[in-house]
Amino acid sequence: MADVAEAVKRNNIQSPKPNAPQLIDNHGRVVSYVRLSVTDRCNLRCVYCMPEQMKFMPQEELLSFDELFRLMKILSSMGISKVRITGGEPFMRDGLTDFLWQLKTLENIEEINITTNGVLTKKHIPELKRIGIASVNLSLDTLDRERFKHVTRRDELVAVMDTFYALLRHNIAVKINAVVTDGFNTDDIVPLADLTKSYPVSVRFIEEMPFNGVGADRQVLTWNYKKILSALFAAYPTMKKLDDEPFSTSMNYTIDGHYGSVGVIAAYSRTFCGTCNRIRLTPKGKLHTCLYSNEGLDLKHLLRQGATDDEIERDIRQTVSSRYKDGFDAEANRFGHLPVSESMSTIGG
């Protein structure tokens, strides 16, 4: 494990403020959750996320783990209690597990989760269990090897399934994220949902979003959450609605005789924006209050220009206090009125 005390000393990180006010946006929503992207690099090339030829950021453009730890120290003192590590593919970055151990030292962080494609994850699972990772979201869009190659442009389904079974053996909570992409994997909705019959997992079907890195202009989403739900109800007519957890992005259901559950995330329809408690930190150090906005607070600039923790906290609060009402508002007010064209890997999946 990395020397946390040395990292704290090197970055002049201040102690958490025990009575700091909560981080509340201008719509009265308490922000308690950060999605922290540690890299834009990925070993897959999923059609809904990035083009085949992707130009990644130079290493020096990424926040160092010391810088990330300092920002998490500040955010945790402001009421952030939950963090999800994302990418790109987070396990493409060396030193990730050392960083996870560092996050565990932040007393206000109550829950650490990871989103991964599973290709490189298996060997790290015993350590993830020791760290106490709360859950792993496993990106898995199909159980068919040929379709997997078609969607991801890589032949890695065997490695992903090995990770899936290893997570279950180590009793780490697993959620499967499947992006429903017209013309690629709509035939996989029922086979993926059937995993919940044998395994205590949550399988969530996600509407495709326009963050594929090629600037596709899609005016109408063919497979929206209503059509996905129709496909599920056709296969499981007695499927019953579950009570969703506070701030849940998914509408969740149980199927008679199944150990797990299924859910649908209306990521493009944006039905859950009204209760959003999340902010995003990109690998380049931009703080975003909404996925659909192309504006952001440049925390890397503040860090590398010698800003104090108090100055960084002030700017974070100011940014959160001018948050867009929802994803539609954010998209309509994108800087330069530019259409969504970036890859999800540059924002944090």
- The reply to whether 289 falls in a domain is yes
pLDDT for the residue 98? 98
Single-letter amino acid code for the residue at 332: A
Calculate ∠ Cα 229-165-116, nearest 5°. Answer: 65
For the stretch 28-42, pLDDT in tens is 999 999 999 999 999
- The reply to whether 249 falls in a domain is no
The count of domains in the chain is 1
**Three-class DSSP labels, 206-251:** EECCCCECCCCCCCCCCCCHHHHHHHHHHHCCCCEECCCCCCCCEE
Parallel, antiparallel, or unpaired: how do β-strands 250-254 and 261-265 relate?
A: antiparallel
For residue 226, report the phi and psi dihedrals to the nearest 5 degrees: -70, -40
**DSSP letter (8 states) at residue 343:** B
pLDDT at 144 over 80: yes
* Domain region containing 120: 24-178+272-347
For the stretch 181-190, pLDDT in tens is 999 999 999 9
Q: Which residues contact 202 (CB under 8 A, 6 or more apart)?
A: 174, 175, 176, 196, 250, 252, 260, 261, 262, 263
pLDDT for the residue 228? 97
1 pLDDT band, cuts 50/70/90, is very low
Cis peptide before 95 (omega within 30 of 0): no
pLDDT for the residue 338? 66
pLDDT for the residue 19? 56
CATH of the domain at 318: 3.20.20.70
- Report the range of poorest mean pLDDT among 30-39, 103-112, 267-276: 267-276
- The reply to whether 196 falls in a domain is no
103 or 51, which is more confident: 103
Extract the tokens encoding 141: 């869009």
Query: What residues are paired with 136 via a beta bridge?
Result: 114, 174
Calculate ∠ Cα 80-167-67, nearest 5°. Answer: 35
129 or 214, which is more confident: 129
pLDDT for the residue 237? 97
For residue 191, report the phi and psi dihedrals to the nearest 5 degrees: -55, -40
The b/e string for 189-201 (b: 16+ C-beta within 10 A; e otherwise) is: beebbbbbeebeb
- The reply to whether 339 falls in a domain is yes
pLDDT for the residue 346? 59
213 or 250, which is more confident: 250
pLDDT for the residue 50? 79
- The reply to whether 229 falls in a domain is no
DSSP string, 281-334: E-TTSEEES-TT----EEHHHHHHTT--HHHHHHHHHHHHTT--SSHHHHHHT-
- The reply to whether 206 falls in a domain is no
Average pLDDT, the chain: 88
3-class DSSP assignment, residue 202: strand
| Spatial separation of the C-alpha atoms in residues 248 and 69, rounded to whole Å | 26
| Helices 157-169 & 145-152 angle (0-180, nearest 10) | 110
pLDDT for the residue 333? 76
Q: What is the mean pLDDT of residues 229-247?
A: 95
